[in-house]
Amino acid sequence: MTYRSGRHFLQIPGPTNVPDRVLRAIDRPTMDHRGPEFVLLSREVIEGLHTVFRTRGAVVIYPASGTGAWEAALVNTMSPGDSVLMVETGQFALLWQKLATRLGLVAECIPGDWRHGVDPERLEARLAEDRSHLIKAVCVVHNETSTGVTSRLPLVRKAIDRAKHPALLMVDTISSLASIDYRHDEWGVDVTVGGSQKGLMLPPGLSFNAISDKALTAAREAKMPRSYWAWDEMLAAGKLGFFPYTPATNLLYGLRESLRMLDEEGLDNVFARHARHSEATRRAVRAWGLEVFCLNPDEYSHSLTAVLCPPQHDADKIRQVILERFDMSLGTGLGKVQGKVFRIGHLGDFNDLMLAGTLCGVEMGLQLAGVPLRGSGVGAALEYLGTAAMAPHLPVA
Ligand SMILES: Cc1ncc(COP(=O)(O)O)c(C=O)c1O
User: pLDDT tens per residue, the chain (397 residues)?
Assistant: 789 999 999 999 999 999 999 999 999 999 999 999 999 999 999 999 999 999 999 999 999 999 999 999 999 999 999 999 999 999 999 999 999 999 999 999 999 999 999 999 999 999 999 999 999 999 999 999 999 999 999 999 999 999 999 999 999 999 999 999 999 999 999 999 999 999 999 999 999 999 999 999 999 999 999 999 999 999 999 999 999 999 999 999 999 999 999 999 999 999 999 999 999 999 999 999 999 999 999 999 999 999 999 999 999 999 999 999 999 999 999 999 999 999 999 999 999 999 999 999 999 999 999 999 999 999 999 999 998 554 554 443 3
How many Å lie between the centroid of ligand 1 and the Cα of residue 66? Answer: 5
pLDDT of residue 387: 83
SS3 (DSSP) at 170: strand
pLDDT of residue 389: 57
pLDDT of residue 388: 57
How many Å lie between the centroid of ligand 1 and the Cα of residue 32? Answer: 30
pLDDT of residue 2: 86
- CB of 175 shorter than 6 A to ligand 1: yes
Write the Ramachandran bin of 348: left for phi over 0, alpha for psi from -120 to 50, otherwise beta: left
Residue 339 burial by Cβ neighbours in a 10 Å radius (0-12, 13-18, 19+): middle
Closest ligand 1 atom number to CA of residue 145: 16
SS3 (DSSP) at 191: strand
Write the Ramachandran bin of 370: left for phi over 0, alpha for psi from -120 to 50, otherwise beta: left
pLDDT of residue 397: 37
pLDDT of residue 1: 75
- CB of 14 shorter than 6 A to ligand 1: yes
Residue 204 burial by Cβ neighbours in a 10 Å radius (0-12, 13-18, 19+): middle
Q: Using CA positions, which residue lies closest to atom 5 of ligand 1?
A: 66
pLDDT of residue 114: 98
Query: For the chain, what's the residue count?
Result: 397
Closest ligand 1 atom number to CA of residue 204: 10
What is the full DSSP assignment across 301-348?
-SSEEEEEPPTTS-HHHHHHHHHHHH-EEEBPP-GGGTTTEEEEE--S
**Buried-exposed string 240-254: b where 16+ CB fall within 10 A, e elsewhere:** eebbeeebbbbbbbb
Other C-beta atoms closer than 10 Å to the C-beta of 177 total 27
Evaluate the CA torsion angle 370, 309, 328, 379 in order and state its sign. Answer: positive
- Within 8 A by CB and 6+ apart from 320, the residues are none
**Residues paired with residue 208 on neighbouring β-strands, in sequence order:** 61, 194
- Within 8 A by CB and 6+ apart from 282, the residues are 292, 300, 305
**Buried-exposed string 136-151: b where 16+ CB fall within 10 A, e elsewhere:** bbbbbbbbbbbbbbbb
Type and span of the H or E element at 256: helix 249-265
**Pairing mode, strands 83-87 and 58-62:** unpaired
Closest ligand 1 atom number to CA of residue 142: 1
| Helix axis angle, 66-77 to 213-221, nearest 10° | 60
SS3 (DSSP) at 194: strand
Q: Using CA positions, which residue lies closest to atom 7 of ligand 1?
A: 66
Residue 13 phi, psi (nearest 5): -80, 55
Residue 329 burial by Cβ neighbours in a 10 Å radius (0-12, 13-18, 19+): middle
How many Å lie between the centroid of ligand 1 and the Cα of residue 120? Answer: 23
pLDDT of residue 394: 45
- CB of 338 shorter than 6 A to ligand 1: no
d(CA 143, CA 153): 10
d(CA 49, CA 210): 9
| Among 257, 227, 259, residue whose Cα is nearest residue 245 | 227
